[in-house]
Structure 1
Amino acid sequence: MTQLKLLLLAVGFYTRLPVPALQNYSQLPQSTVYLPLVGWIIGALTALSCYLADYLWPTPVGVILALIVGILLTGAFHEDGFADVCDGFGGGYNKTRILAIMKDSYIGVYGTVGLLLLFALKISLLSAQGNSAPLFLLVGHSISRLPPLLLMRQYDYTRIDNSKVAAAVYKPNGQDLVFTSAIALLPLALLPSLCLLALVPVIIINTLLGHYFYRHIGGYTGDCLGASQQVAEVVFYLSASTLWTFI
């Protein structure tokens, strides 16, 4: 029953989906191990919307509608973090300035351009997959929610003030990572076995991203975790679509 409560906490925090009102938010940090399972839910709903839309409109339209559904389900939670990271690291010249920019609620040029390019890549890559786009969405949403947990395991939370993402201050242990990795990778069974190789670029890019964050701000913030998820999702689409040509 405790695990179910943690799952509901994760769903309530990382999505806009309704959950029972009486939740113990002091356990919110521990619920992050269910982030890939939240990815299952978001991935399944976006995949379903893409699949259904494909009966009425061309594939690019279905992909765009699926992305809209994903944003509505999550409240652009991770996209917001990605935009803040683009603004912070694009316009900041030291740790203090970078953190200040990322905390600002306004989006700047770097964030705007970053989001435009991010969505352009997603639409292009998923549209090119045709009927396989729903599967890519399901797997991509699950796998991309593992890299933020890897960053949390390796680095420290860099903010010391009471920010909106203070709940992210949690360091998963080895058992947590084994559990959450199994959840994140299970949907890969829906794709040809060659697509397992798509994990390699995802891990490499996430490792480099972690080093970049550490070098500039000494760790991570909640925005960094959101950016990690978005980058991992796009890298997975890039890698899997490349491998798809050999299948």
Structure 2
Amino acid sequence: MHKSLYESAIMKTWLNYQLNLFLLALSFFSRLPMAKNIQYSPSKMRRATRYFPLVGWLLAVILVAVYVVIQPLVGSSPALCLLIILSLLMTGALHEDGIADTFDSFFGGYTQQHKLTIMKDSRIGTYGTCALVMALLSKFMLLSTLANQGMLVISLLVAYPLSRAMAISLVQDMYYISNHVPGSDSKSETLAKPFSPKNLNFVVITGAAACILLPFLTTIYLLVGCLILRYWLRFWINKHISGYTGDCLGTAQQLQELLIYLIILSNI
């Protein structure tokens, strides 16, 4: 009896700890309202990163629910516009900010230090504006076509967690550079340590789980395509700044998401 109560207490403590980690991840990667009693520490934040794909799951489910409700009322295109706006509001445009800063930096800078300085500048330049506009337009066009093909819901459920899993996996084999820039103060610094094998497996499984909704061959194309893009991004980012920053992870998430939509669309 006492052993059973002890095991129950241990399980409850563990579940509360995991819930706290998930809420930490949710507060970091989204702007959804959070309870004020979430326990924070840098070590907890690093462990919470494993839940990044699950944050993608939650965001995707919210978007799907909203689309299902409003699409019959306003039509497909207006519903998709509202969906993209809602996604920006829920994430605080965190990843879109990353792609704008990264393109400004990589195409506007001359040296590694200059590129990192541009990346930290809150202003947006020509390259960043072009990249951001093209990313949003591409997303709208791809989602619109997927909606016409009846694949929007599945595509969102696949793309949101998988793109985040692929993006956060870059911390596993890249060097975090932003904390070595004088005067830098990046909230991504707490994520800069590689995953343990157990946590990496959790990220992969939760990120790719929705692929079971797709045909087997489409899943193969999707995973191969995402891995190819991941390794190209690692090469491209290292070429410019010899490591990664939080903005680079945001860029990776956005490009992976667009690629996922494109591969699903090409295999319908």
TM-score when normalising by structure 1: 0.94
Give the whole-Å Cα distance in 1 for the aligned partners of 2:64 and 2:132.
Answer: 21
Secondary structure at the counterpart of residue 54 of structure 1 = helix
After superposing on structure 2, the runs of 4+ consecutive aligned residues of structure 1 that deviate more than 6 Å are none
Q: What number of residue pairs does the alignment pair up?
A: 244
Q: CA RMSD in A?
A: 1.3
Equivalent residue, structure 1, for 2:89:
72
Equivalence for 1:36: 53
Instruction: State which of 50, 70, 76 in structure 1 corresponds to 2:67.
Output: 50
What is the CA–CA distance in structure 1 between the aligned matches of 2:205 and 2:31, rounded to whole Å? 25
1:239 counterpart residue number: 263
Deviation for aligned residue 1:30: 1.6
Structure 1: distance between partners of 2:167 and 2:46 = 13
Give secondary structure in 1 for the equivalent of 2:73.
coil
Aligned residue for 2:118? Answer: 101
Any stretches of 5+ residues in structure 2 without a counterpart?
1-15
Determine the structure 1 residue equivalent to 2:6: none
Residue 52 of structure 1 deviates from its aligned partner by: 2.1
Give the letter aligned to residue 201 of structure 1: G
Structure 1, residues 150-184: CA drift from partner, whole Å, max 9, x if none?
21001110122432332232211222111111111
The AA in structure 2 aligned to 1:13 is F
Aligned equivalent of 2:3:
none
Alignment-derived partner of residue 178 in structure 1: 201
Could you list the per-position Cα deviations for residues 57-78 of structure 1 after superposition, in whole angstroms to 9, with x for gaps in the alignment?
3322222211111111111111
**Matched AA of 1:156:** Y
1:3 aligns with 2:18: yes
What amino acid sits opposite 1:120 in the alignment? L
Tell me the amino acid that sits aligned with residue 124 of structure 1: M
Residue 86 (structure 1) aligned to one of 98, 103, 112: 103
1:155 to 2:170 alignment: no
Deviation per residue, 1:208-247 (Å, 9 max, x gap): 0111111221110000001110010001011111011xxx
Structure-2 residue corresponding to 1:217: 241
Paired residue type of 2:209: L
- 1:58-103 deviations in whole A, cap 9, x for unaligned? 3222222111111111111111111110111110111101110110
SS of structure 1 residue aligned to 2:185: coil
Partner residue in 2 for 1:121: 138
Letter in 2 for 1:2: Y
Instruction: State how far apart, in whole Å, the 2-side matches of 1:24 and 1:67 are.
Output: 31
Residue pair 1:149, 1:172 contacting (<8 A) in 2 also? no
Identical residues among aligned pairs (%): 36
Q: In structure 2, how many angstroms separate the alpha carbons of the residues matched to 1:70 and 1:83?
A: 17
Give me the TM-score of the superposition, normalised by structure 2.
0.87
Amino acid at match of 1:42: L
